[in-house]
Structure 1
């Protein structure tokens, strides 16, 4: 009797799985191909950023939060705001449990999770499997370029996707769920400096809520909480207001582009041609179907496009809105 009871759910599950693959086969294929490509190149993607994350994480786990730099030659002894301490500690924890393989596989899981989140959201928002698949092909190529290396930034990818999707949902179907972005931002503020982008998007949405037509007291309070919460989340770290100095010295340090290619603006090359195609397609879609996009969707897309052409390292943040756009057949 027990074997029969088990066999029935399995028999029901198989047609459901077949139907899912038949309906979403293109999308599943693209995401799976991306996961396979990341896994194949994973041994080459554990470089200096990964090792610094592991060493920094060991410092945090064994000795607590650092007060001064003891890891690098040029800045030894100087005050150190280790803003990425949670991502570093998590990296070292994974390494301690499963070695370098588990740490590297966590990068694979994080980038695939971020892509899967926006792809599922795009389908739920009405985009056809074919539209999502074709867009995702360009997106995964750019992800492979900009998000290939295992680093603390990998932990920020799913956080960015979740924050963006919560905001996009709230634009069309307002609910209290949008306030989940605030604890996500607070966590992100201890993971990676890209939280500034997330806070900007939340503040933008909050400002638009306050400025919308009715300007009711409820809208003003709701939008004000998002704006104020996004600002406060940036300093929700052990260093509190001192973290602002870290953001300033990192985000506005013009010398980085002289040393690191990923901080330089992208140029029109064969390698980066998909970026220009994606940007052109997004602007064309925005111009042709402007009424189908809300003010937040338009401004967020323009912001992320602008950032992508300021520095190559920002290309990765353009991938989520591109994948979750409201494309139709």
Structure 2
């Protein structure tokens, strides 16, 4: 019986090797892998341990503190426009983790957590590709573009946890001889329960499992036999376990409800199709080119299962850029399996040991210096503008600002200051959100909107169309202005 799907195409042993030669080769190979793994771990650690500046994270951190004090919220607590609206805090488990770390060791601990997530993600991706290639392929060809695309989303948001969970799922499915792969009836329910309470991307995990089982069936492995049967049973148990959460069916159905808000999501950058003129779009395009080239040039044809799994995820990445974070990881072991075999690099063990030591000695002091910096980077937020609002005694008035800046307002000034709207696009009514985006871009209905919600203070981007319109209006006066933000107050 094959011990992994990788072994079906890449046997890892060569008949005829003598014992001493095989031992020496194994030692050199182990050191080479350790050196390569360390490099990937360091890159993942560096990518994850950036200073905290994501606006969604600021809201998640505040929510986590609320949960620790009051329990999981079931209705809106941050806005003055739709207070009491039903709200499913989909990432409540990660929010509690954020708040717990911040309360116990400070926000720098969250940076360390993200660094660990990055290191774990990079290591798992490297080892996954290496195992899929049977340890004999030049996996860097597919690792670099795949991990670069995914790492663009390795920021301090619950999506980061979702990416790591997806990698763990791919390991369970792709490497059957792994401890978790041998016990899917335990591993899958535990993983999916953690995932469903951490981020809505858990739905992509179930989609991956379904596509895998259908693909294996198309290859002649029926889902009611052997390992596929255990995976199918484990998927059913995992789905049942997902209902064990503070919101019941509401949390499980969250991704479905979110997709019904397509009219509102079309304005959100990460829910748009890739713009191939941007760095993220070009990176995803490069991954698609590499993936297709590997499949086209491989001596062996990809299995039906590989095509059935990879193609829908590539299309999901083309539909919404945020899906690219996992689309590249789905194709990583598939492409690695089809890479041509390469001879092991001729490296001396002493050189590998020296390289490993040098990397460690270099990274440790750099990490210490990086952690000595302030944990938050708030340079892109209207810090000075909000201080002006506070200094003029205007906190608590009806404030209108951008969704991203609302995250900072919630983090710094809530509950003294509530917001018009923030980036919880899954909660605000669709018609309300669409109207907001039109006003944001200077639509003439801003007057009716401001009157309806009795907006009194506006903190907006300097030079933006709405700022210029309000500056020219006799009903508004400029209270403060800098390069980033302008504060306008109703006369």
TM-score with structure 2 setting the length:
0.56
Cα drift, residue 93 of structure 1: 1.0
> Residue 297 of structure 1 aligns with which residue?
306
Distance 1:69 1:268 in 2: 37
Asked whether the equivalents of residues 110 and 158 of structure 1 are also in contact (C-alpha less than 8 Å), the reply is: yes
Tell me which of 318, 324, 328 is aligned to 1:315.
324
* SS at structure 2 position matched to 1:68: coil
Instruction: Map Cα deviations across residues 82-122 of structure 1 (whole Å, 9 max, x no partner).
Output: 22111111111111122111112211211221121121122
Distance 2:64 2:192 in 1: 21
Asked whether the equivalents of residues 200 and 230 of structure 1 are also in contact (C-alpha less than 8 Å), the reply is: no
1:238 aligns to 2:246 (yes or no): yes
Structure 1 gap ranges (5+): 1-15
Distance 1:301 1:290 in 2: 19
* SS at structure 1 position matched to 2:90: coil
> Residue 7 of structure 1 aligns with which residue?
none
Instruction: Map Cα deviations across residues 245-266 of structure 1 (whole Å, 9 max, x no partner).
Output: 4222223421444432111100
Distance 1:30 1:88 in 2: 28
Distance 1:226 1:237 in 2: 19
TM-score with structure 1 setting the length:
0.81
| 1:217 to 1:161, Cα distance in 2 relative to 1, 3 A | closer
> Residue 253 of structure 1 aligns with which residue?
261
Q: Which has the larger radius of gyration?
A: 2
Q: Counterparts in 2 of 1:18-33, with a 5 A limit?
A: 20-33=30-43
Asked whether the equivalents of residues 84 and 191 of structure 1 are also in contact (C-alpha less than 8 Å), the reply is: yes
Instruction: Map Cα deviations across residues 50-79 of structure 1 (whole Å, 9 max, x no partner).
Output: 111111111221111212111234432111
Asked whether the equivalents of residues 270 and 322 of structure 2 are also in contact (C-alpha less than 8 Å), the reply is: yes
Distance 2:39 2:244 in 1: 40
Q: Counterparts in 2 of 1:138-217, with a 5 A limit?
A: 138-147=145-154, 149-170=155-176, 176-179=182-185, 180-208=187-215, 213=220, 215=222
- Greater percentage in helix: 1
1:306 aligns to 2:312 (yes or no): no
Asked whether the equivalents of residues 192 and 239 of structure 2 are also in contact (C-alpha less than 8 Å), the reply is: no
| 1:302 to 1:60, Cα distance in 2 relative to 1, 3 A | same
The answer to which of 208-217 and 81-90 deviates more is 208-217
The answer to which of 264-273 and 67-76 deviates more is 67-76
> Residue 283 of structure 2 aligns with which residue?
274
> Residue 48 of structure 1 aligns with which residue?
55
> Residue 3 of structure 1 aligns with which residue?
none
| 1:90 to 1:270, Cα distance in 2 relative to 1, 3 A | closer
Instruction: Map Cα deviations across residues 228-281 of structure 1 (whole Å, 9 max, x no partner).
Output: 335435434232222344222223421444432111100222513231121122
> Residue 474 of structure 2 aligns with which residue?
none
| 1:251 to 1:28, Cα distance in 2 relative to 1, 3 A | farther
Cα drift, residue 188 of structure 1: 0.6
* SS at structure 2 position matched to 1:259: coil
> Residue 127 of structure 2 aligns with which residue?
120
> Residue 75 of structure 2 aligns with which residue?
68
* SS at structure 1 position matched to 2:145: helix
